[in-house]
Amino acid sequence: MGYEVHTASDTDTFKRAYRAHLPGRIILDLQLNGCDGIEFIRYLASEKCASEVILVSGADRRTLTSARRIGEQYGLKMGEVIEKPLTIESLEGSINKKPAAIANFKKADILAALAGEQMTAFFQPQIASHKDGGWSVGGVEALARWNHPQFGLVMPDKFIHCAEESGIIAPLTDYILQKSLHYVKQWEDEGVKLSVAINISGAMLSDLSLPDRIEARVKKAGVSPSQIILEVTESAVMNDINGANDILTRLRLKGFELSLDDFGTGYSSMVQLYRLPFSELKIDRSFVMDMHANKEAHVIVRALIDLAHNLGLEVCAEGVEDKKTFDELINLGCEKMQGYYFSRPVSSENVLPMVKQFNSQRSTRKAGL
């Protein structure tokens, strides 16, 4: 592939080679002589390493992905993880996935994108079960996209963080909410009533005027609050649980649905969960996507579904990518799902065709078929 390669099989040789060559990529075996991979990760972090780190291991996938997460927490640029046996194909595959050359966006870029209507919402269907065992699209989740003149469609992980850090997540959310309300009303006028889930950043949960602002917008658009699901992540709520509780309770009293997003990745205890006025719990996609390959992920999904139901909450599994996972979630009693198996997020004009196509096959979408 045209790379210059240096190899090391012990700690000292590695450190010498690293300092001498400052490589663009490091392919790191987690089990090296005299040092485990995590120590290497810590060492690279202490060196402020800018190389991409690709982890390789014979350990199970969960250990590999948690090692990758440690690297990310230390601020390293982590690439793919590769399970052994290492093949030329898997290595080529990981190396060829070059990170997209996307600029580091700044506050002014995002504000200009909002003013210039470059921001847009995509919508991903959420399918819900019926008493007869059939499934149909009952709503969509609005997901921010940036139609960038230079970089094409930019995903939210490239700009939401900057918007949060620079204090402009509220105008961005407001923009996505307004667009979503406009389309929900339009779809309803065309005969398809859908709910829409809006992601609310934790940074907004300290603004006591939020419930009134959202309510005013929704009323003005002529949409019922019961059609709006506000998704808040678990970690966002835990930052300031009392402030969040005040705002969430008022939103609930105004008739909005509240969903606890990415559940399982934060640190809420059952007691905290019980005290907060959520109507739905959304199981994080990392567990759902792994539930077939990984017994522990399966156990977690099952336990979260039971927990939600025992607390009287609805449950939505996100990240359903295949039929096997769909069938298994049905067996576990999950009543709402979202994932690439049903549809990827689509632009507003593709929503109704997608919903109509899915719902027309409703009779064949019975459990177990």
Strand partners, 243: none
> Which of the residues 193 through 222 are near Mg ion (CB under 5 A)?
199
Binding mask 255-274 for Mg ion (x = CB under 5 A): ------xx------------
Q: Shortest distance, CB of residue 263 to Mg ion, whole angstroms?
A: 8
Q: Is residue 231 close enough to count as binding Mg ion by CB under 5 A?
A: yes
Chain Cα centroid distance, residue 126: 14
Residues that bind ligand C2E (CB under 6 A): 124, 143-144, 155-157, 160, 169, 173, 176, 199, 201, 231, 261-262, 285, 318-321, 338-340, 345
Q: Shortest distance, CB of residue 79 to ligand C2E, whole angstroms?
A: 17
> Which two tokens mark 85?
């046996």
Residue 155 partner contact from ligand C2E, Mg ion, none using kind-dependent CB cut-offs of 5 to 8 Å: ligand C2E
Cβ contact 203:169 at 8 Å:
yes
Instruction: Closer to ligand C2E by CB, 34 or 116: give it.
Output: 116
Instruction: Closer to ligand C2E by CB, 18 or 146: give it.
Output: 146
Residue 52 partner contact from Mg ion, ligand C2E, none using kind-dependent CB cut-offs of 5 to 8 Å: none
CA 303 – CA 120 distance, rounded (Å): 36
Which amino acid, one-letter code, is at 203? A
Q: Find, among 29, 84, 82, the residue nearest to 58 by Cα.
A: 84
Residue 202 partner contact from ligand C2E, Mg ion, none using kind-dependent CB cut-offs of 5 to 8 Å: none
Instruction: Closer to Mg ion by CB, 199 or 268: give it.
Output: 199
Instruction: Closer to ligand C2E by CB, 47 or 240: give it.
Output: 240
Q: Shortest distance, CB of residue 274 to Mg ion, whole angstroms?
A: 21
Q: Shortest distance, CB of residue 261 to Mg ion, whole angstroms?
A: 4
DSSP H or E stretch at residue 73: helix 61-73
Total residues binding Mg ion (CB under 5 A) = 4
Which contacts (CB < 8 Å, 24+ apart) does range 27-34 have?
Answer: 27/54, 27/56, 27/82, 27/91, 28/53, 28/54, 28/55, 28/56, 29/56, 29/57, 30/55, 30/56, 30/57, 30/59, 30/63, 30/64, 30/67, 31/57, 31/58, 31/59, 33/9, 34/10
Report the residue number whose CB is nearest to ligand C2E: 339
Residue 201 partner contact from ligand C2E, Mg ion, none using kind-dependent CB cut-offs of 5 to 8 Å: ligand C2E
Q: Shortest distance, CB of residue 229 to Mg ion, whole angstroms?
A: 9
For 316, the 3-state DSSP assignment is strand
Query: What residues contact residue 93 under an 8 Å CB cut-off, 6+ apart?
Result: 80
Footprint on this chain of Mg ion (rule: CB under 5 A):
199, 231, 261-262
